[in-house]
Amino acid sequence: MNNRDVIHIFYACDENFVKYTIVSIASMMENAARDRRYHIHILHTDIPTARQDTLLRMQDMDFTITFDNVTPYLRSIKGQMPLRDYYSKTTYYRLFIAEMFPNLDKAIYIDSDTVVQGNIAALYDVDVSGHLVAACHEQAMVQTDVYGTYVEKCLGIDRNHYFNAGVLLINCRAFREENVLKQFMKLLGFYNFTVTQDEDYLNVICCNRVLFLPQVWNMEVYGEITTPAEEFCVIHYIMVAKPWHFADCRYGDIFWSYAAKTSVYGEIVQVLDNYTDEQRAASLASGERLAALALSESEREDNYLARIRAAQEQRASLVRDEGRVRILEKIAAYEREGRFDEDVEDDPPGRSIEPDEVDYLGEKLSSRLQCKLAFAAARAFVYRLMRKKQMIIKEIRGSEHIAALQSGAVMTCNHFNAFDSFAIQLAYESGGQQRKRKFYRVIKEGNYTSFPGFYGYLMRHCNTLPLSSNPRAMKQFLRATDRLLKAGHFVLIYPEQSMWWNYRKPKPLKDGGFYFAAKAGVPVLPCFITMQDSEYIGADGFPVQEYTVHIAPPILPDPHRSVSENTAWMKEENYRVWKEIYEQTYGIPLAYTTEKVNIEG
């Protein structure tokens, strides 16, 4: 039986709550159609083996149960998450399902405080194509004005179009295609929803992409209920309506009827017996506090909806720099025409570098002193840019590939902004190699000879290796670059040999940098920077970009190949890696508006 024939169902819980998960699963197994196969996943971080064994003993011919520890996945995305500790809460684990299990097209998520009286396969068989999720209306928002007002005033969602996230049929394919997890992480950094937390985030992201199910699939024990209990498919004991806390909880008899058939029945009875009147009073008071919090959020002048509207108004009021607009138009035209190796911005008129003009190897004391001063000035400048949100480095991925190298290397990077070399400098330093190696960057001749002001000062003194149109000076450049690579240093080269402002696609590559690596016998370290719009608007009227620096594994030259063969192979492999990073990050295939160019060079 292949994977598509199996119904995948997810719970998320901790050691304290897993006993209620056992009751929910027991009820599900009793009522599920036995002509199907089911795989129940328990997402967790801390459930001990002994407790896991209790659940694993419930498996039978039709139901498989696995415990999926999310800790490794959480570590893998930690750098992408905002500093707040949301990702450690089990309630957020449902947002990771689509990415953690990329082979699944859809899946069921269900809260542990439930009893399943219906055939869960019938829920799975609902056609959710064209939607992100299928879910039921949240009765707290429908029936209680303070909560309905909250979602309308704070989230901008009609109270009758808000869903409860405790029972979900997730369109995993659509979650991945539309980068729902990335949307969630971006929202985490933008606004802190405190009323229903992950449910609010999901409703904002999935707004107008929800297939609303018959309410029997999530009968919340809340407010007025007119449906007969025997018609409930899922009973959801939300908020303070917990049978293990309140003996008179509505529909508690149904919960206890299933609990009595499990090995944890006595344990849950003990929870009820030990739950004090003071604790019950505190539970009831927590409901009142939640309503007060919803009211407070509704009245906030800077709530989520207000911030979104303010951002929209700000963007509408900004006038985009005409020069930038022309550059974007020029980029579009150049791509259509296949003119990938031409800069879209005019460099200052320059002169030729003369032989012996550049101290490539820093052999002069004055050169070394100027370099030290220039790096101090550059570092202060970069940190100031980052504090002012004029340059945002969201994440550096793959630093271990730099740290592991025992030789020099040619670092490659896509070239789209004057700041991208600063990002690569920080990425290089994240690998810890700066204690024994140096980082150099190859620059254009005109940038060295004619770039004005502060940037020109940095161009001339921050371990730069300028190209030259003078043959004798160019020979000095080639000898110096080869010597630096063989001595174990890192050299950044832009193999596209052109800069297009904030252009996200990789451009065709030139041989130069790969030839240097092949000749020196050192690896190529492919780096590719991806971008996304931040909430900050630059002085040019465009969103400041958030950079993610991807450092891929090194491409090693083959000792059995010639220099020319290694040059061609490493260039081809570098482009393949860049293309893969682009497509995985942006979730779209790499495509160009021109067919008149061999894009791999």
pTM score, two decimals?
A: 0.58
Given this model, what pLDDT does residue 82 score? 52
Which helix (H) or strand (E) segment is 432 a member of?
Answer: none
The total number of structural domains that make up the chain = 2
In a domain, 60, yes or no: yes
The per-residue pLDDT for range 119-164, each reduced to its tens digit, is 999 999 999 998 999 999 999 999 999 999 999 999 989 999 999 9
- Same domain? For 293 and 326 the reply is no
In a domain, 597, yes or no: no
Residue 350 backbone phi and psi in degrees, to 5: -125, 175
In a domain, 376, yes or no: yes
Question: Who's near 590: CB < 8 A, 6+ residues apart?
Answer: 505, 506, 579, 582, 583
Strand order in the sheet with 6-12: 63-69, 37-44, 6-12, 106-110, 163-171, 133-137, 210-212
Strand partners, 533: 545
In a domain, 598, yes or no: no
- Same domain? For 267 and 399 the reply is no
- Same domain? For 68 and 126 the reply is yes
Given this model, what pLDDT does residue 405 score? 93
- Same domain? For 84 and 207 the reply is yes
- Judging by DSSP bridges, how do beta strands 37-44 and 63-69 pair with one another? parallel
Which helix (H) or strand (E) segment is 386 a member of?
Answer: helix 365-387
- Same domain? For 128 and 161 the reply is yes
Given this model, what pLDDT does residue 315 score? 66
The mean per-residue pLDDT over the stretch 75-89 comes to: 56
Which helix (H) or strand (E) segment is 293 a member of?
Answer: helix 277-299
- Judging by DSSP bridges, how do beta strands 133-137 and 234-236 pair with one another? unpaired
What is the domain extent for residue 370? 322-345+359-586
- Same domain? For 298 and 328 the reply is no
The more confidently predicted of residues 588 and 164 is 164
Residue 596, pLDDT above cutoff 60: no
- Same domain? For 62 and 113 the reply is yes
% of the chain residues with pLDDT over 90: 62
The mean per-residue pLDDT over the stretch 162-174 comes to: 95
Residue 599, pLDDT above cutoff 50: no
- Same domain? For 299 and 335 the reply is no
- Same domain? For 266 and 137 the reply is yes
- Same domain? For 228 and 159 the reply is yes
In a domain, 350, yes or no: no
The mean per-residue pLDDT over the stretch 60-76 comes to: 88
The enclosing domain of 242 has a CATH number of 3.90.550.10
Task: Tell me which residue has tokens 């971008």.
Answer: 531
CA gap 12, 108 in Å, rounded: 12
Read off the pLDDT band of 563 (50, 70, 90).
very high
Given this model, what pLDDT does residue 489 score? 95
Read off the pLDDT band of 287 (50, 70, 90).
confident
The mean per-residue pLDDT over the stretch 24-50 comes to: 94
CA gap 217, 108 in Å, rounded: 12
In a domain, 429, yes or no: yes
Given this model, what pLDDT does residue 317 score? 65
Given this model, what pLDDT does residue 314 score? 67
The per-residue pLDDT for range 218-274, each reduced to its tens digit, is 999 999 999 999 999 999 999 989 999 999 999 999 999 999 999 999 999 999 999
Given this model, what pLDDT does residue 460 score? 87
The enclosing domain of 423 has a CATH number of 3.40.1130
Task: Tell me which residue has tokens 């869903």.
Answer: 163
User: For residues 485 and 520, is the Cβ–Cβ distance under 8 A?
Assistant: yes
CA gap 422, 381 in Å, rounded: 10
The per-residue pLDDT for range 308-364, each reduced to its tens digit, is 887 777 666 667 788 888 999 999 999 999 999 888 887 666 788 999 999 999 999
Q: Which of 282-286, 541-545, 557-561 shows the highest mean pLDDT?
A: 557-561
Residue 85, pLDDT above cutoff 90: no
The mean per-residue pLDDT over the stretch 374-401 comes to: 89
CA gap 556, 522 in Å, rounded: 7
**Burial classification of residue 502, based on how many CB atoms lie within 10 Å of its CB (0-12 exposed, 13-18 middle, 19 or more buried):** middle
Given this model, what pLDDT does residue 83 score? 40
Report how far apart, in Å, the C-alpha atoms of 71 and of each of 46, 68, 76, 324, 486 are. Answer: 9, 9, 9, 44, 41
Amino acid at 518: A
Contacts by 34-38, CB closer than 8 A, 24 or more apart: 34/62, 36/7, 36/62, 36/121, 37/1, 37/5, 37/6, 37/7, 37/62, 37/64, 38/6, 38/7, 38/9, 38/62, 38/63, 38/64, 38/120, 38/121
Residue 87, pLDDT above cutoff 70: no
- Same domain? For 234 and 332 the reply is no
In a domain, 600, yes or no: no
Residue 176, pLDDT above cutoff 70: yes
Lowest mean pLDDT across 303-317, 341-355, 400-414, 486-500:
303-317
In a domain, 351, yes or no: no
Average pLDDT of the chain, as a whole number: 89
Task: Tell me which residue has tokens 């739950």.
Answer: 275
**For the chain, what's the residue count?**
601
- Same domain? For 415 and 493 the reply is yes
